[in-house]
């Protein structure tokens, strides 16, 4: 009966939307109805989007392409979604303060608690008063063990806590995921229930969101490989490039590939060498057909550009 997703990092707004869309595409149950979304823009302004029916596909009139840039590019964002037609205003499910952070969750975190405030509002108020996210969430849930709620609190600094009340912890259909990128550049938290299949969905949503914010294959340069490029025996598979980024030699560790016809891949994140030094890693592995020590085709073509990640102490190759 709901999913809550919160993310901190580059393009966090887009990240939570893509995560929700992934769950809608794979899951079944309490999904595809209302969405209440909030983001804190780079200008420090709350940006909201909501719909009562249709899930992420109906959140914007012209689809995701028509979503406000300030929302998609926001560095902190959260949403809550479930079946259709929830009580208005939908913003009650995702309270936020631009200089503090946001709160989302699953089940009914907008329920009145023992402190006289809605649970999610009380958590947000504690954050406003300088209480850390872990203490704020645990304090409210401990005071309301019988509440039918799970809460995600996310500060503007990327501190996050996602937890369920004692009552919700007894459910057999709940999912939870919390992923942090090394270095703290991105974080994602997910809580859900009544959406099947239960076990993989929270992890799926979190991984999709993290991939939007910090894609492992985000390129900062490219190299060019053409048919006719020679192969040479080397200690490991690699490519050697000229200063302009053109591949001059393909190194292979298996001598069999130097004679006759073969199909091969060079492996995951194959090294890119320049002047004998490591320049970076290939982020795409083309399907190579080689003949008598020369590249014949690459993905069935004669010429291909390959995205690369440049080593931290190296400049990208020159323009091709």
Q: 59: domain CATH number?
A: 3.60.20.10
Q: SS3 for 123?
A: helix
Can you give the pLDDT at residue 203? 98
Q: What is the C-alpha to C-alpha distance for residues 24 and 4, in angstroms, rounded to an integer?
A: 13
Mean pLDDT within 184-204: 97
User: How far is the C-alpha of 132 from the C-alpha of 288, rounded, in Å?
Assistant: 53
Range 46-49, long-range pairs (CB < 8 A, 24+ positions): 46/96, 46/97, 46/98, 47/13, 47/71, 47/74, 48/91, 48/94
The reported pTM is 0.90
pLDDT confidence band for 311 (50 / 70 / 90):
confident
Domain end marker among 213, 245, 262: 213
Query: 3-class DSSP state for residue 85?
Result: coil
Residue 256 structural domain: 221-310
CA distances from 236 to 232, 278, 307 (A): 11, 12, 20
| Rounded Cα distance, 255 and 92, in Å | 65
Long-range CB pairs of 59-64, under 8 A, 24+ apart, other chains included:
59/17, 59/35, 64/17
pLDDT in tens, 15-32: 999 999 999 999 999 999
Based on the fold, state whether residues 126 and 174 are members of the same structural domain.
yes
Please check whether residues 57 and 196 belong to one and the same domain.
yes
Tell me how many domains the chain contains. Answer: 2
Confidence of residue 225 (pLDDT cuts 50, 70, 90): very high
Looking at the structure, do residues 13 and 125 belong to the same domain, yes or no?
A: yes
Element containing residue 172 per DSSP (H, E): none
Give the residue from 190, 213, 236 where a domain finishes. Answer: 213
pLDDT digits (tens, 9 = 90+) for 239-254: 999 999 999 999 999 9
- Domain identity same for 22 and 168: yes
């Amino acid at each position: 009966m709901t999913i809550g997703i919160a993310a901190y990092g580059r393009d966090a707004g887009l990240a939570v939307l893509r995560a929700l869309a992934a769950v809608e595409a794979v899951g079944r149950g309490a999904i595809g109805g209302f969405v209440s979304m909030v983001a804190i823009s780079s200008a420090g302004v709350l940006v909201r989007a909501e719909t009562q029916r249709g899930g992420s596909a109906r959140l914007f009139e012209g689809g995701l392409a028509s979503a406000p840039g300030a929302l998609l590019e926001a560095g902190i964002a959260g949403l809550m979604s479930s079946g259709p037609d929830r009580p208005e205003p939908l913003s009650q499910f995702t309270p936020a303060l631009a200089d503090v952070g946001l709160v989302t969750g699953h089940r009914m975190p907008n329920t009145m608690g023992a402190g006289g405030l809605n649970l999610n509002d009380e958590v947000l108020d504690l954050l406003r008063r300088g209480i850390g996210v872990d203490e704020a969430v645990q304090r409210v849930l401990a005071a309301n063990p019988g509440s039918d709620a799970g809460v995600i609190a996310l500060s503007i600094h990327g501190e996050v806590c996602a937890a369920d009340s004692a009552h919700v912890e007894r459910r057999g259909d709940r999912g939870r995921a919390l992923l942090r990128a090394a270095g703290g550049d991105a974080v994602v938290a997910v809580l859900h229930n009544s959406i099947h299949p239960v076990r993989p969905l929270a992890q799926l949503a979190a991984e999709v969101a993290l991939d939007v914010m910090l894609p492992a294959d985000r390129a900062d340069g490219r190299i060019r490989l053409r048919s006719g490029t020679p192969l040479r025996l080397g200690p490991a598979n690699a490519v050697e490039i000229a200063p302009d980024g053109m591949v001059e030699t393909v190194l292979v560790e298996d001598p069999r590939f130097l004679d006759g016809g073969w199909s091969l891949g060079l492996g995951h994140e194959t090294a890119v060498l320049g002047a004998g030094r490591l320049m970076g890693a290939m982020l795409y592995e083309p399907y190579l057909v080689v003949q008598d020590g020369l590249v014949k085709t690459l993905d069935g073509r004669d010429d291909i550009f390959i995205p690369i990640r440049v080593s931290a102490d190296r400049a990208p190759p020159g323009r091709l």
